[in-house]
Amino acid sequence: MSSCLLFLMTPRPPPPPLIHADRYPPLVGSANLPTSRRPCPRPGQRHGYLFRCDSSSSSSAPRDRPPRPRQQRQRSQRPGGRGDAVDPVGFLAKLGVTDRAFAQFLRDRHKALKDRRWELCSRFIDLKEASSGFELLGMHRHRQHRIDFMEWAPGARYCSLVGDFNEWSPTENCAREGHLGHDDFGYWFIILEDKLREGQEPDEFFFQEYNYVDDYDKGDNGVDFEEIMHRMKEEYWEPGEIRSRKSQLEMVVKLYEQMFGPNGPQTEEELGEIPDAQTRYNEWKALQKSDSSSLSPSYDIIDSGQPFDIFNVVTDRASFEKFQAKKPPLAYWVEMRKGRIAWLEKYVPTISHKDKYRIYFNTPDGALERVPAWATYVLPDAEGKQSYAVHWEPSPEEIYKWKFGRPKVKGSLRIYECHVGISGSEQSVSSFQEFTSKVLPHIKNAGYNAVQLIGVVEHKDYSSVGYKVTNYFAVSSRFGTPDDFKKLVDEAHGLGLVVLLDIVHSYASADELVGLSLFDGSNDCYFHSGKRGHHKYWGTRMFKYDDVDVLHFLLSNLNWWVTEYQIDGFQFHSLSSMLYTHNGFSTFTGAIEEYCNQYVDKDALIYLILANEMLHDLHPDIITIAEDATFYPGLCEPTTQGGLGFDYCVNLSIPEMWLWHLENVPEREWSMNKIMKVLVSSNQNMLSYVENHNQSISGRKSFTEIILNSGKFSIGSVDGDLIRASLLKIIKLITFTTSGGAYLNFMGNEFAHPKRVEFPMSSNDYSFRLANRQWELLDKGFHKHLFDFDKDVMSLDENERIISRGSPKIHHCDDTSMVISFTRGPFLFAFNFNPELSHQSYHVGVDEAGEYQLILNTDETKYGGCGELKSSQYMRRTCDKRVNGCHNSLELALPSRSAQVYKLVRILRI
C-alpha cells in the first residue's frame, strides 16, 4: 500500500483494571484487559497509538512480556522494587522520620503520581508503550518499500523533510492529505516512497512486499503471481474440488441433471410427487457406494426440519482426518515477500545511508529548519554552525552484529568513570575506536567491573563536557559513529564490564538551531515557559515534567539507550537542578521542610519514580544511580514505599570534605571524627569516591596537584613525593572501604594523574594541552606504585567482597593520635593519618577473638612505602584486654601516614 489511514485514537480513560487505588498499572499489553472493555482500534492502530502497516508474523506476535522469573518478581526488598503493598510513607519509619508535613507531602505526591499514570495510560496503555516512542518517532524503514517519519511539533503549521535526497526542497516530502498530516496531539507523519528504477513497473498486488533488510531464501526466484496461485491449487485442493463456474445457476443445473437426468421434467405437472428426504437420501447413498472413485468427503446432512447447526453434520472418521490434515499453502505466500536482492533490482532508496536531512516547519513566526528531536546521528556542517541529521541505515552486510551478552555485577560495583574525548594521550579529541582498543583493556587490568561514560550523548559545545545535550537519541559524532559506540559497549561486555551512561535529563542545551529550545517555534514545547524554563546560572532549559508528551520523550530516551546500545545502567546527573525551582542553588540546613516546601518540583519527582519503575520492570538487571547534592529523602527506597527507586546514590559530600581538608586545614589538624561522620553518615546504597571529573576540571586542581605542590604537607623523608603521595593511598582506602557497595574512580586518578582537566575554550585559546591523559606515567616513579596499590585494592574487593558486606562498625576514632579503626564483617581496618608520629604498639578493639592476617599494607615498598613492618608482624593474635568497649583487642604497629587491612582467619573460643 502506498499509504494507510493511520490516525491516533481520541484519548479516553483507561479501563478500571489498569488503574488501582494502591498500585500502578502492570507493564503488560492490552491482552490482560477484559474483552468487554478492551478498546477496539481501527485498522492501522495499536493500543490507541499510531504504528506502521506491518503485516509480518513478527509484527503480529503478542507484545506482552513473558512472566518474570520468581527471583525477579521478589524485588520488594531492593531499591526500585515494586513489592506487593503500597505505602506512600513506608520508608519514613525505616529512616526514623516523623515529620507530619513531609508525610502529607508524600501522600499528596502519591495521589499526583496516580493521576499522572492515568494520563499516560489514557494515551499509551502502560509504561512499556509510553517508553517505546523510538519505535515510531524518527525515521524508520517500512516493509513496503518506503520510509516513515514521525515528529512531535504541536506548535507548527506545516511540516516537511528537506535534505540531500530531495535537493532540500521544503514542498516535495511533506505531511499532506493522504499522508496523515498531523493529529490532535501535534504528531506529524511523512511517508518517503522508494523510487522505482527505470524500466520497472509498479506491482499489481498491494500485498506484494520487498524487504530492504532481510535477505530471504525464497522470494527472489522470479516466480510470478499466476504460477504461485496455480501451485497453491495443485497442492491444497483435490482434483475436482475447484471448478470454474460460469454463472450462479450452474450448480443448480448440475444438481437438477443429477437428480432427473438430461431430459428431466420441465413443469411441476411432469415432476410429479417428490419422495421424502429419507427415501431420496437412501437412493443417493446407494449410488455413492457403487461410485468408489468419488473423492469428495462423505458428509451426510439429514433435513429433519430443525434449524441448521454445525452439530447436525455427520461424517466418517477417514474423511474427517483427511480434512484435518489439510494445511493452507502459506509457504507459497512467503514467495510473495521478496528480499533484498529483488528490492535492489526494482527500487532505489528514497533516502540513502548517510544522507543529510533536517525537518522544515512553517510556524506563526515564519519558516524554521531543525534537527529532528529523535535523530539518531547528528553531524555539524562545514562551518561548524548549523548541524544536520544523518540517516543511519547501513546495509545488512555492514550493520553491527553483537557478539557478547550483558555481564552481571556480583557483589560490589567498582566504577571507572571516563570521558572518551580526553581518554587519549594526544592533544586532540579521542575516538570510540581508540578508547575501545586502548582504555578498555586498562580498565579490566586495573580491577574495575564497570565503566561509566560521560559526554557520550550528542552535544554542540565540547567545553561543556557533554552536559549541555542537544540531541538525546544520538551518540556524539565527534567520537565516531553509532556502530563504533556499539562495538565499544560490546567489547566492554566481552571483558566482563558493565557499561553505565551519565544521562542528563535534569536540563538541556538552550541552542535553538540544533537542540530542543524553540523546537517548533513555540517557547513551551519541551520546556517550561518564562523564568521556570531557564536555569538561573547555567543558561540551560528546564524540561516540562508534567507534560505527557515530554514524559514520552524522556522515558523513551532511557529505554532507547538500553534497547539499541545495550547500556546496563544510568547515573542521573545533577538531580538537584530539577528537583527544586531554585535549581539547587540555595542554602540547605538539613531541615526536613526543605524537601517539601514550595520550591520542590513535584512533577520532577514523579518523573524519576516513573523512570525507575519503567527501567526496573522492563530491564530487571538495570542499575540506576542518583547524583543529588541535597540527599533527597528516599532516593534509594522502593517506589512502593514512597521512595524514588534508585539502586545507589552518590555521596557528594565526601569529595568536598577531602578537598576542604586538603586546601584549608593543616594535615596535623585534621579531625578524624569529622571525617568518619561524613564517610559513614548514610552508608547503605551509597556510592563513594575521592574525586571525579568535577574535582579536577576547568580551573580546579586535582588532588595530586594539591598534595604534591602544596607546602602544607610535611616531608619526613628524602623522597618527598612518595611520602606525600602516601596520603593519597590512605584517603582512597578509607573512602573505598566505607562505601555502601559502590565506588567510583575518575580516569587517571588510579595512578595519581598530576594534571587537572581543562577542555578547550576561549579562556585557554581552545587548547587541548590539558584535555588528555598522560598514560605514559603508568610505569614511572610513584605513579606506578600508586597504580599497583589501587589495583590490589580492587583485586582484594573482587576476591573478598569487602564493600558489599554490612555497614562499617567503628571501634576507634581519635583526633589526638589521628588513628581510626573499624570492622566490616571479618575484616579490620586501621588508619594512622598522623604525618609525623608512628605507633609501635597501638591497641585497637575487635569483637571477635582470634588470629588476624595482614592482607594489605599501604607502607609496603611495592607501593612506595618504607616497609617498616616485618613479616613476623603480619599475623596478629588478640588479647583479652578491653579496648574501645570491646572484649578483645589487637596490638598493632602503625607507621605514620599508613593503613592496614587484616582478615580474621581463625576464631578462638574462650
Residues classed as catalytic: 627
Q: How far is CA 371 from CA 161, 246, 549, 614, 707, in A?
A: 10, 61, 18, 28, 47
Are 550 and 543 contacting, i.e. CB atoms less than 8 angstroms apart? Answer: yes
Q: At what angle do helices 100-124 and 602-618 cross, to 10 degrees?
A: 60
Whose CA is closest to 289, among 276, 278, 300? 300
Are 862 and 785 contacting, i.e. CB atoms less than 8 angstroms apart? Answer: yes
Cell of 211: 524487504
User: Measured between alpha carbons, how far is 810 from 839 in angstroms, rounded to an integer?
Assistant: 20
Are 849 and 878 contacting, i.e. CB atoms less than 8 angstroms apart? Answer: yes
Are 745 and 787 contacting, i.e. CB atoms less than 8 angstroms apart? Answer: no
Q: Which residues pair with 415 in a beta bridge?
A: 450, 744
> In which residue are the cell numbers 539507550 written?
561
User: Measured between alpha carbons, how far is 346 from 134 in angstroms, rounded to an integer?
Assistant: 29
Phi-psi region of 867 (alpha: psi -120 to 50; beta: other; left: phi over 0): left
DSSP 475-517: E-TTT--HHHHHHHHHHHHHTT-EEEEEE--S-B---TTTSST
Sign of the Cα pseudo-torsion (314, 320, 326, 328, in order): positive
For 742, residues 6+ apart whose C-beta sits below 8 A from its C-beta are 412, 413, 414, 415, 625, 648, 685, 686, 687, 688, 803
For 384, residues 6+ apart whose C-beta sits below 8 A from its C-beta are none
User: Measured between alpha carbons, how far is 522 from 533 in angstroms, rounded to an integer?
Assistant: 12
DSSP 501-561: EEE--S-B---TTTSSTTTTS-TTSSB-SGGGGB-TTT--B-B-TT-HHHHHHHHHHHHHH
- Please provide residue 328's backbone torsions phi and psi, each rounded to the nearest 5 degrees: -60, 140
CA 109 to chain centre: 25
Residue type, 726: S
Residues in the chain: 910
Whose CA is closest to 627, among 608, 640, 641, 614? 608
Are 625 and 571 contacting, i.e. CB atoms less than 8 angstroms apart? Answer: yes
User: Measured between alpha carbons, how far is 607 from 487 in angstroms, rounded to an integer?
Assistant: 31
DSSP, collapsed to helix, strand or coil, labels residue 343 as: helix
